[in-house]
Amino acid sequence: MKTLKLVTLLYIAFSLWSCNKKQAETTNNDELVLFDFEENFDKSQVKPQDATYKIVTEENTYLQVNNGFTLREAGVKLVSSKENPWDLNGFHQVKADVSNTGDEIIQVELFVGNDPDGLKRWYCSDYIDLKPGESGTITVDLAWTPWVFNPQLDIVGMRGIPGTLKTDISKIQELVFCSRYATQPNQFTIDNVRAVGKLEEKKPDNFFPFVDEFGQYKHKDWEGKMHSKEELKEAAKKELELLANSSGPKNIGKYGGWTKGPKLKATGFFRTEKVDNKWWIVDPEGYVFWTAGLNCVASTSVFTGVSHRENYFEYLPKEDDVLNQFYGKGTHASHGFYKDKLPYKSYNFYQSNLYRKYGENWLEKFQEMAHLRIKDWGMNTIGFVSDFGATRMHKTPYVGSIWIRNTPKIEGSQGFWGKFHDVFDPNFRLAVKESVESQKEGANDPWCIGYFVDNELSWGQLGSLAIGTLKSDATQPAKIEFVKDLKSKYNSIDKLNKVWKTTHTSWDTLLNSTEAPNQENAEKDLIAFYQKIAETYFRTINEELKKVAPNQNYLGCRFAWANNAVVLTAASKYLDIMSFNKYEYSIEDFSLPKGVDKPVMIGEFHFGALDKGSFHVGIKKAKDQAERGLLYQNYIQGALRHPNIVGAHWFQYLDEPNTGRFDGENYNVGFIDVCDNPYPELIKKVKETTYSMYDYRTKN
């Protein structure tokens, strides 16, 4: 027995020595293997989450995950061993090789660490699209740049920050792999999980201020950067000369429709029709129209907070400075540094640069230039939340934007942008009516394609809003409606208790309880009421919108994140065009629920890069401005090939401020920069795509 114990101890010691030796070797090569699932792998480091797994030994040894779909992060959690915790300090990225071994297209997502800050958890994640049988590598950056300041600086109000770690790397001891927004079982494999790339360290001496007088990053130079007022004016002169000689794409009608295509019924307004098994928008003249748009064509959309951060800026105008007019007051911040500092002082570098370029009539010039550029770029729509002065010029079709304001909420619900509307409160319809009436810009205007109403609502997992309803108090109108439905179905509380396996003594007890039932037991009832919420929401808005703007299309709420068949099917009954914000590299394989055949508009997508002074790539990453253009082309052409998709709108016309907008976003997602200059490498590929988009769609 003693001999056996000695052998066991020697084996454990050898294993630990071997593991530490391997870690030391890989660290010296700027790579640290976290999991390769080879010999001595400890299965206790795998924690399934609505999934099963097995170790497969073939040519390579890897982890196979058989995945469910009832949890947001259904998959596996991989944790470091207590005996040998990870030390990721100094590494730039975590990488993992994954393969789709199932029969459906999936997105495999990786979360690195477990930071309690929701945004930081999102920062330290990424995902990859995989077709059946396809393999790829997920890469998650641990810092905003390949170098970091030591010591770290305290910089606030910005999401992407040069020289800054995304999270406390020393605390990373777990990884979560899941199938993103899965709606059915799937399977994938994981192998060769490693930390790679050494972060160069720099001293933060003389970093402040880091923003120059034009709102650009001060400590870097690049082609196209502005250094003087004279350069701004010269850039404006050259672009105006270029635009004066541009006639835009050929065979385009007054409203942007394709005059070379089929001539359909002209109603004087935009509508939809299916032609040769493909959905199209039809313009007021009866020509087929595919909407290629830009969101936020508005100079007001890019102010940045200066309160509590004055030392970030090389220049802020004094009271007697003519540029003093571009100060403002921020009154809204849904997230981030300024959320609890309202109101705060803001400044708009973009507008001040327009003034430097064009003088007192800078706003009129901004509006005029927007139309000239959109035409030259081969695009045809001014998108979401844009400048009314520009849309009223009637030179480019546009969409309207309506926010349903001051509504009662389901108090037990939750979401990124806030709680969900209580659609059963009588005040909801009143709020819809008032919101539509007060934001009806474009109603019965032939140039207005239609209206987005609300944005990126948090529908949550299937049944979640019904659960939120039950977690609300007894006075919640939605809860009163839900209990009424349950009474009608079950007649007695005992019958409900039998199905739900609950112990409510009366219907009043249920009404006053804020505990959610077991979701599996109550699933049918939760889904039924969840569906009723969705149908009531879309029906109410449709009814009130059509009273005011009967000639415009109801474009929906721009679905984002997880969207299940119940909500989408309910929405399809009341929407003229279904809208989705889809931040992907490709939209070609997008699908609607079975039985739903509706036209679809992509409300938002973009790609960003860090090669020209920006600090954050946005939601989808490109290596430089040229690749942004290539990714735009790939995305749009995939959308053009899809029979349901009738257009896609890029978010957004302008770069976000380097020092962050109201919620800290500071993405390089514009077609133009803070100095009002287009990115030529991006625009070149955009024009190559849009000038031929009608021919491309009809031939593919």
Q: What are phi and psi of 646, to 5 degrees?
A: -110, 10
The pLDDT value given to residue 334? 82
The pLDDT value given to residue 562? 66
Q: Name 138's bridge partners.
A: 96
> How far is 365 from 345, CA to CA, in rounded Å?
26
CA distances from 449 to 85, 376, 446, 529, 550 (A): 57, 21, 7, 33, 12
The pLDDT value given to residue 13? 40
All structural domains of the chain, each given as residue ranges with its CATH number in brackets, are 2-202 (2.60.120.430), 229-403+557-699 (3.20.20.80), 426-438+461-550 (no CATH)
Beta strands in 235-308, from DSSP E residues, in sequence order: 271-275, 278-282, 288-289, 291-294, 304-305
The pLDDT value given to residue 29? 62
> How far is 275 from 251, CA to CA, in rounded Å?
19
Identity of the amino acid at 148: V
> How far is 136 from 289, CA to CA, in rounded Å?
37
Farthest-apart Cα atoms in the chain, separation: 93
The pLDDT value given to residue 25? 41
* Residue whose pair of structure tokens reads 């009143």 in the numeric block: 430
The pLDDT value given to residue 561? 75
- What pTM did the predictor assign? 0.93
Query: Rg of the chain's alpha carbons, rounded to an integer?
Result: 27
Confirm if 454 and 544 have CB atoms less than 8 A apart. no
Neighbours of 365 (CB within 10 A): 18
Confirm if 525 and 497 have CB atoms less than 8 A apart. no
Q: What are phi and psi of 313, to 5 degrees?
A: -110, 130
Compute CA 535 distance to the chain's CA centroid, rounded to the nearest angstrom. 25
Q: Which residue, 485, 491, 515, is CA-closest to 502?
A: 515
> How far is 492 from 490, CA to CA, in rounded Å?
5
Q: Which residues contact 587 (CB under 8 A, 6 or more apart)?
A: 602, 605, 635, 638, 639, 642, 645, 648
pLDDT less than 50: residues of the chain: 1-28
